[in-house]
């Protein structure tokens, strides 16, 4: 079956703009998590959604938000972009709220200039 699909793969934005990233989980998976990866901070948890409800949130400012749709697809939004938001944004899906294993997508590489 198809894996976790993230779009777009690459994105360049200007400071102050906002951006929306998309994630389609594996069919049947109802939990979607988002992570940010930077060279300085490594992989950091952003938030997790299950059945359209945010279940867990990491320590990121309110400029970072997300949502999940009834078909389990998820989007994350970053408003008022800063240079430090340049990162690889990864989405992961699992079958349940506390899934035994997460399957990650290939990520969206966001560059803020």
Partner 1 sequence: DAKTTQPPSMDCAEGRAANLPCNHSTISGNEYVYWYRQIHSQGPQYIIHGLKNNETNEMASLIITEDRKSSTLILPHATLRDTAVYYCIVRDLTGTASKLTFGTGTRLQVTL
> Applying CB under 8 A, which residues contact partner 1?
4, 31, 33, 35, 42-45, 48, 55-56, 58, 88, 90, 92, 94, 97-107
H/E element, 33? strand 31-38
Which CB atom, from 16 or from 61, has the smaller least distance to partner 1? 61
* Cα–Cα distance measured from residue 91 to residue 23, given in angstroms and rounded to the nearest whole number: 6
Which CB atom, from 24 or from 31, has the smaller least distance to partner 1? 31
* Tokens linked to 66: 């997300």
Q: How far is the CB of 82 from partner 1 (least distance, A)?
A: 22
Q: How far is the CB of 35 from partner 1 (least distance, A)?
A: 8
Listed residue (70, 3, 64) closest to 35, CA to CA: 64
Which CB atom, from 45 or from 86, has the smaller least distance to partner 1? 45
* Tokens linked to 88: 């690889």
* Cα–Cα distance measured from residue 33 to residue 38, given in angstroms and rounded to the nearest whole number: 17
Q: Which residues does 17 contact at the CB level (< 8 Å), separation at least 6?
A: 81
Q: How far is the CB of 74 from partner 1 (least distance, A)?
A: 15
Q: How far is the CB of 36 from partner 1 (least distance, A)?
A: 11
């Amino acid at each position: 079956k198809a894996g976790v699909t993230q779009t777009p793969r690459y994105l360049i934005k200007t400071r102050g703009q906002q951006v929306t990233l998309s994630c389609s989980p594996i069919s049947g998976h109802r939990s979607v998590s988002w992570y940010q990866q930077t060279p300085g901070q490594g992989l950091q948890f952003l938030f997790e959604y299950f059945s359209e409800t945010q279940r867990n949130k990491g320590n990121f400012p309110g400029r970072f938000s997300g949502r999940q749709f009834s078909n389990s697809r998820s989007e994350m939004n970053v408003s008022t972009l800063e240079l430090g938001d340049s990162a690889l944004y990864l989405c992961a899906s699992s079958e349940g709220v506390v899934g035994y294993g997460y399957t990650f997508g290939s990520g969206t590489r966001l560059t803020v200039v």
